[in-house]
């Protein structure tokens, strides 16, 4: 593994007619040939770009892939993860 970054996965569940939000911390992991999250595996060749945006007090890491756009809620700026990805793609 080259680098990883923490993100927050929020699951919504309804119990006894009440909506409950379950927050889980996960890792997005960068390998020489792929990126792995809790629910997806992307080959490096299928990732077009990685970006980051802050909106309404929340921060999102975006993976732009050939399969679409995938967003990940994060509390920390992923500058090291993005730098490692761009260095890997440039080689």
CATH number reported for the structural domain that contains residue 10 in this entry: 2.30.29.30
Check residue 44 and give its pLDDT. Answer: 96
Domain span at residue 27 reads 3-90
What confidence tens digit (pLDDT) does each residue in 18-72 have? 999 999 999 999 999 999 999 999 999 999 999 999 988 889 999 999 999 999 9
- Provide the number of structural domains found in the chain: 1
Check residue 62 and give its pLDDT. Answer: 97
Is the backbone of residue 56 left (phi > 0), alpha (psi -120 to 50) or beta? left
């Amino acid at each position: 593994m080259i680098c990883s970054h923490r993100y927050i996965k929020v699951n919504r569940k309804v119990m006894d007619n009440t909506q409950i939000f379950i927050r889980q911390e996960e890792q997005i992991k960068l390998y020489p040939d792929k990126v792995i999250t809790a629910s997806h595996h992307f080959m490096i060749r299928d990732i077009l770009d990685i970006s980051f945006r802050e909106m309404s007090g929340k921060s999102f890491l975006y993976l732009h892939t050939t399969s679409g756009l995938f967003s990940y809620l994060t509390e920390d700026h992923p500058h090291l993860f993005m730098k490692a990805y761009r260095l890997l793609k440039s080689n």
